[in-house]
Amino acid sequence: MSQLKPSTSCISSNHQIHNSSHVFLQHHWKLFQSNISHPSRLSHFPSINCNLRDIRQRIATVKNAQKITEAMKLVAAAKVRRAQEAVVNGRPFSEALIDVIYSINQQCQLEDVDIPLTDIRPVKKVALVVISGERGLCGGFNNIILRKAETRIAELKNLGLDYTVISVGKKGNSYFLRRPSVSVDRFIEGEGFPSVKDSQVIADDVFSLFVSEEVDKVELLYTKFVSLVKSNPVIQTLLPLSAKGEVVDGNGNCVDANEDEFFRLTTKEGKLAVERDKLMRKKEGFLPNMEFEQDPVQILDALMPLYLNNQILRALQESLASELASRMNAMSNATDNALELQKDLSNAYNRQRQTKITNEILEIVAGAEALL
């Protein structure tokens, strides 16, 4: 009998160990269930009802999407710098050209000279040159300018005026093709950075419509580039030449900026950074006693096609810079959202994996108790 006492004490000690481990696991399991029963403690975790395999696949998919959006962001950031420099560098020439044409036009008015492109006649039909983007994935860039065009068309209809649209850009073309009620004169597409040839195609069409008196006014609808985070849709009166010699919108307000904020993309500590500069414009007026060696009519005939081409090229450059900046911001937001979603999925995966391990341990302990 004395030989059986040690074995009995060993069995009782093992039984106590199993009971203590079982109590420990039950205590932690109750704590885990109490956390689930109180959603306030896990309110920052999304409800994802998937098994572990599906969550792993979703994490891999989000990682691939995040790589794509990050690459598109870097590509847009590289292109927007070139487009921004083209916009800012082209503005002084454009404004100086308008000042020259205005001064010559004033001289011609004093001499009672008729210039077709400056002829102001009663407006019966308006041509709208709508410049949109060539691609998507740029936030609300295309929707804003197309909504602006729809608003302008509604205003012209309320005034009892006829209209026609010259659509520039693939997104605008597809938008107006789905709306046969909108009168479209021509669809124009472009690729890459705008060039003089691209603007010349639009200028020739606008010139023929205005000189043949098919339209009495030409308006240019595009997105004006302000900064990397801001752009404004504007309506610029292209023809006839405005009375004040300024680039004005449909309400007669000047859309030229006397002070431009120029943002330069740089790198700081291996990350993209932005530096801000301000460029001031100073306009110098022409002398009232200016004399022309040639006939002012000949000078205007030579400058007006250059004016049309320059203004349309400027609008194309402004629109492209705004599109690239909008795409860079949209892809940056998409990248941030992908990283946040990836973090939430990883947390959900770890919680489900922890739950599965806890259940397996409880089953092992319960099976060990059944054998005793």
70 token code pair: 């990050």
Residues with catalytic function = 138
Split at pLDDT 50, 70, 90, the class of 258 is very low
CA dihedral 104, 108, 113, 119 (to 10 degrees): 60
Is residue 275 over pLDDT 60?
no
**61 pLDDT higher than 70:** yes
Structure tokens at 74: 């870097």
Length of the chain: 372
Half-sphere exposure of 114 (CA within 13 A, CB side): 3
Q: Are 129 and 238 in contact (CB under 8 A)?
A: yes
Cβ-Cβ contacts under 8 Å for 311 (sequence gap 6 or more)? 94, 220, 236, 238, 247
The predicted model gives 111-134 an average pLDDT of 80
334-344 tens-digit pLDDT: 999 999 998 88
Buried b (16+ CB within 10 A) or exposed e, 233-247: bbbbbbbbbbeeebb
CB atoms within 10 A of CB 275: 10
- Which pLDDT band, with edges at 50, 70 and 90, does 292 fall under? low
DSSP string computed for 39-59: TTTTTTS------HHHHHHHH
Pick the range with the lowest mean pLDDT from 25-29, 143-147, 149-153, 294-298. 25-29
The answer to whether 316 touches 199, Cβ cutoff 8 Å, is yes
Any idea which of 36-40, 60-64, 306-310 has the lowest mean pLDDT? 36-40
101's enclosing H/E stretch is helix 52-110
Residue 239, amino acid: L
DSSP 8-state code for residue 285: P
Burial of 43 (0-12, 13-18, 19+ CB in 10 A): exposed
Mean pLDDT of 16-26: 46
Cα dihedral sign, 238-244-247-252: negative
